[in-house]
Structure formats: C-alpha cells, structure tokens
Amino acid sequence: MCQITSQNDVIPKEDCRLRYPYLSIIKSVGKSCMKCQEPATVVARLHDPFCRNCFLVYFTHRFRATFGKSKAVRNGEKVLIAFSGGHSSCTMLHLVKEGLAEGVHKKLRYQPGVVYVDENVCLEQDKEERSAQMRKIETWLKESTFPSYVTCIEEVMSKCSPGYRLISGDQSHDSEDGHDNPPTENSMKEEFKQLLENTSSLTTKEDLIQKLRLKLLKQIAKQLGYTKIMFGDSGTRLATVLLGNLAKGHGETVHQDMSFLDTRGEEVAIIRPMREFTSKEIALFSHQCCLQPVFIPRISTKASRLASIDTLTEDFVNGLQSNFPATVTTVLKTGAKLTSDEETIGKRHTCVLCQSPVDSSSSASSASAATQYSMSLRKSSTVYSSSSSEPEAACEVARDNASCCGEGDESCQSAKKNEELTSADLSVVMCYGCQVMMRDVKSLDRLPSSVLADVQRQKRRDEMRLEIEDFLLDGSEEG
C-alpha cells in the first residue's frame, strides 16, 4: 500500500547514519514490534512498540486516512501549507511531499503551496543568526518543489493587500498581477512594534500575534487563489489550545479551534491534519526520518511557567499527559462533541479579530451579565451619598485625552465625532474572548487598518439596519 523508499527521505539514509551513528546500532527496547514481530525501536503510545518501518507506515497511513475520512479536500484543490520550521511543520511538509510523489498509489491529488511567515519583528534577532535561519527555511521551501512564498507578519498592517516574496515558483502556474510583491516599508514594522508595545500582558501579545498571523495567511491565500490553509498543530498543541481558549472565554468556538476542518471566515478554510498525533509521536517520526527542523525563538520561548496563559496551559497538559496518557485524546474527543449554538448563528455579528460569532446577550443568569453588574457597581455607592472631593470624569475617553463631549450621562458622543474605537463599540463587534483580550491593549487604534475598517463597516451596517428595522420581514438575514 504505502511504501517508504529511501529516495523520499529528505536526507539519504547513508548520510543519516554518519550523522547519527547510533541509528545503525538499534537498541531494542526488549519488545517486539506489534505488527511484524521484529525487534522494536520506538514505543509510540503506552503499549504499542513498533519497529522503524512499521512505525513509518503506521504514521503515514494515519495522516492519509485523516484526509480520506473527512473528505474535506477535493481533487485538484489548491491548499496552502503554513510552514513554521518546527517539528510538526517539517513532518507535515515531508508527508505531503511523499504523498503526492510520482509512483505512489493514491486517490487524492491536491495542489499544495507553501508559505512561511517571518516574525522577526516580534523578537529581534542577531543578523547573522537570522540569515542562517532564513537560509535553512529557504532550503526547506525549495526542496519541497511546491510554489513557496515568504511573507512578514507586519504585512498585516498594510492598508491594501499584503506583500509576499516568491521563493520558488511552479512553472506551470499562470503569472498574475501581484505575483511577486516585495515586502517594503519599514513603517509597517514600526506600527506592528507599537501595537505590541501597547499591550501589557504576554498572553495578549501571543494571542494578537496568532490572530493577526491567521488573518494575514487568509488574506494571502485569498490573493493567490488557495481555498484551504493547512496547519501543522499537533494533538498536544490543540489540547493546550482548547484548554487555554476555555480559560480566555472563547467557549463557544473552542471546538473549531481544534477540529480538522475550521470553516470560520468566508472563503478560506483551515485544515489540521496533524491533530491525530501527539507531539511525542511527531518528534519520533521526525527523528526516524532524520528531518532537520529549524528552531526559531519566539516571545514566549524559555518564558517561565506563569508568564502567560499559554505557557501555563502547556505546562499543565504536558504534566498531566505524562501521568495520565489518555489526557490529550480525551480532551480532543470532548472538543469534537461540541458545536456552536445553531439557532442564533445566522443572526449574530462576526468578531472582527477571530471570525467567530459574537456572543448574544444571553439568558437570565450568566457570567457576562454578572461581570457587567460588578462593573456598574463601581460607579455607585449609597454609603457616601455626598459628592466626592474631585469630580471624576465618568467617561474613559474624556479622562484620557480631555476631549470630553460634555454629555456627562454616560452617553459619550466624543467617539462618534472622532470615529474612534471605544470599548463600548467592542461589545458589538468582538466576541467575549477578544474583548477580554483587548482590555490589555492601551490604545485600540493601533490595530491593523483592515480590522478598524471592519469595525466601522459593521457600525454603519447596524445604523442602516436600525433605520429599516420596521420593514424587515424575518430575522433570517446575516448579522
């Protein structure tokens, strides 16, 4: 069925043994492979020893079966592979390349492209190290033989379409306009840096980078004509994402953050074929095939356990997984049983940052109502009814930039005059989780212009709707 031959390895086997001499002396773990009874070399899950070949076959088979089962990708579809240089991405790229190689029996043929997002602006690195890393990345991209592109994360701040660089093109691809937009403009770098500096917590920084990266990838995919993006998130990573997102208030959409097919957002969908594997299995596979991932540090690399919600959750899941090996699979299975509230989904707005439905003002007793009540209590107290010593501006905008509109009864008009984004606007255009995240961002107008434009558009649509509300027949319109 699936044959692993040495010419599909990234590095020929002979070199592999020179570099890793111990591979030729296979230390048997004292068990025999559960398939072929040869001496085993890896133990992927608790009671499953495999020899090298059977493990590679098993792994590859599961990767392809995930595609086949879900029927998400059709023949001839253009799929963009998001490559980060880590173990998961390299494994995924390797498997895709192998799967589509000539001479391999398969039913599914899709057209992949590869894109790498350069995040140097988040964590400035030493120039030499940086060029060494970029060389390795470009080697990976060129060896994949698929059309490959490199873009920078600050391109998401661009006022028109984001730019990217072509590394290796597919000769049969028709050249269209905008095929090779060289990323320019240091001003975008500055804007992005400003956005990050205005964010007080590491959790929010990580979240913003992740959401903006996704936005950028979707824009580029759309530009280049790709209908799907493939991410290499492992099962362990997705379990971490699920728990982390629960803690951040994204409850309604956690199931989409970790499902195989994520169809939020209009034209471009996301697929996650590596979700069946734990990070341990991926590392074992990558090691067995002598793949060479590129390590690029991020803002949370080597951060302490309590630095951000993501680092804490990762530590938590890994700790539990070592004692209770079924943790990751159970969490993923639980997530797979969840769904969104189907009845109201068509009537609600879409969050401008994460494309999830904005939470509706919900039932009688809810956490968001309780929080709003607590916030409202701040301003009133019957204990001291006389006026306090200095008049405090009730409105946050006025306190910040002294452009008080003079209303004074909490119906702030200054935002309307300045077309600025206030926190009152956010509750309409952002989901609960993103609102919580935005509390850490000091000035909301540092967000990318595409996001701000979406907000304004939504506000105008709401005003339009308000005008014609009496004459609309059924609430079956999209939000």
* Residues found near another protein in the complex (CB under 8 A): 201, 203, 242-243, 245-252, 254, 305-306, 308-309, 312-313, 316, 319-320, 327, 330-331, 333-335, 337-342, 359, 362, 364-371, 373-375, 377-384, 388-389, 432-433, 436, 439
Between 183 and 249, name the residue whose CB sits nearer to another protein: 249
Compute CA distances 26 → 8, 20, 42, 200, whole Å.
22, 11, 10, 50
Between 116 and 432, name the residue whose CB sits nearer to another protein: 432
Between 41 and 313, name the residue whose CB sits nearer to another protein: 313
Between 159 and 378, name the residue whose CB sits nearer to another protein: 378
Cβ–Cβ under 8 Å, residues 138 and 170: no
Between 161 and 360, name the residue whose CB sits nearer to another protein: 360
* Closest separation in Å from C-beta 19 to another protein: 40
Provide the pairing of β-strand 148-152 with 111-118: parallel
Question: Which of 136, 316, 132 is CA-nearest to residue 241?
Answer: 316
Compute CA distances 445 → 20, 119, 122, 434, 452, whole Å.
52, 22, 19, 15, 7
Cβ–Cβ under 8 Å, residues 269 and 261: yes
d(CA 115, CA 92): 13
* Closest separation in Å from C-beta 140 to another protein: 35
* Closest separation in Å from C-beta 360 to another protein: 10
Between 86 and 479, name the residue whose CB sits nearer to another protein: 479
Beta bridge partners of 45: 48
* Closest separation in Å from C-beta 328 to another protein: 10
Question: Which of 96, 61, 52 is CA-nearest to residue 232?
Answer: 96
Give the ranges where 21-171 is alpha helix by DSSP (H). 52-70, 87-99, 127-143
Between 33 and 242, name the residue whose CB sits nearer to another protein: 242
* Closest separation in Å from C-beta 467 to another protein: 31
* Closest separation in Å from C-beta 384 to another protein: 4
Between 127 and 337, name the residue whose CB sits nearer to another protein: 337
Residue 378, helix vs strand vs coil: coil
Q: For 79-114, give one letter per residue: b (16+ CB within 10 A) or e.
A: bbbbbbbbbbbbbbbbbbbbbbeeeeeeeeebbbbb
d(CA 364, CA 341): 17
Between 163 and 335, name the residue whose CB sits nearer to another protein: 335
Q: Tokens 């109502």: give the residue.
A: 369
Please list, in sequence order, all residues whose beta carbon lies within 8 angstroms of the beta carbon of residue 119, skipping any fewer than 6 positions away.
Answer: 152, 153, 209, 213, 296, 298
Q: Tokens 């951040």: give the residue.
A: 248
Q: What does the block give as tokens for 206?
A: 């990580």
Between 169 and 316, name the residue whose CB sits nearer to another protein: 316
Between 132 and 367, name the residue whose CB sits nearer to another protein: 367
Compute CA distances 79 → 142, 149, 227, 239, whole Å.
17, 13, 6, 24
Residue at 198: amino acid letter: N
Residue 414, helix vs strand vs coil: helix
